[in-house]
Amino acid sequence: MSEWASHGAPARYVSLVPSLTESLFDLGVGDQVVGATKFCVHPAEGLTGVTRVGGTKDPSIERILGLAPSLVFANEEENRLEDVEALRSRGIAVHTSFPKDVADVPRMLVDLGLAVGRGSSGARLAFAVEEALRDAAELSVGRPAVRFLVLIWRGPWMGASQDTFLSSLLEAAGGSNVLSGKGPRYPELTGAEIARLDPDRVFLPSEPYPFQARHIDELVRSARIRASRFLPCDGELLTWHGSRTAAGLRAAMRWLA
């Protein structure tokens, strides 16, 4: 039984993070998700009819309260502390998580499973991530690390430093971030600075900025790096921490091959 389970009526869950929403469905409690953000898009068929409570940074507290949730799921980076505190002050239980490193995800999945009374499902999802981590480590033995840069914004260009989840995922898959962990987590970069960093591969994920193929031409001109070094990629696989992380690791292994 869940730590927050109520006696009698089925538990009601609200998720304020797209990756956690998907993970709840993969844990087998999707039919108990009564609220989610407007950015929660997976699984599309399962979310039909689920009440939208706003965005990750501006959820409607009143709308959430109106859903009478047994438990709200939030992330310490994607959601605001004041919203979490506002819910708790109104008597709503909030489960928070913050995996800073890809190695933190298995424990998070176990905790999520226990929170919704699906401990075995949480352990199964955690094992899939651990297995992908082991495979990535074996694949990297004897191979030089691929020096990479991940751009997460345009106008200005912004990159992701080592102190980010997406960087830890790519590093676990055999990469080495050209942006050190010192300084801002998401530093602004000029074309000349990108050229000086001289990465082997520049990732252009589909989110948070919707990079497209045309942006490669722009970067080739400003950074004077060959087009073959740029790789548009699925931002959800790169940044979503939860049940999608195992697939993200395996995709990263392919991208860095």
- Domains in the chain, ordered, with CATH? 1-98 (3.40.50.1980), 134-256 (3.40.50.1980)
Joined tokens for residue 140:
């990297």
Structure confidence by residue, pLDDT tens digits, 222-240: 999 999 999 999 999 999 9
Q: Answer yes or no: is pLDDT of 132 > 70.
A: yes
Total Cβ atoms within 10 A of residue 220: 16
Check residue 40 and give its pLDDT.
Answer: 97
Q: How far apart are CA 22 and CA 44, in angstroms?
A: 10
Q: Is the pLDDT of residue 29 over 80?
A: yes
- Looking at residue 2, what is its pLDDT? 52
Q: Where are the beta strands (DSSP E) in the chain?
A: 13-15, 33-36, 51-52, 71-75, 94-97, 146-153, 157-159, 175-177, 188-189, 201-205, 230-233
- pLDDT band at residue 210 under the 50/70/90 scheme: very high
Query: Predicted confidence band at 3 (pLDDT cuts at 50, 70, 90)?
Result: low
> What is the value of pTM for the model shown?
0.92
Under the banding of pLDDT at 50, 70 and 90, the label for residue 9 is confident
The pLDDT tens digits of the residues spanning 169-198 come to 999 999 999 998 778 899 999 999 999 999
Which one-letter amino acid corresponds to residue 46? Answer: G
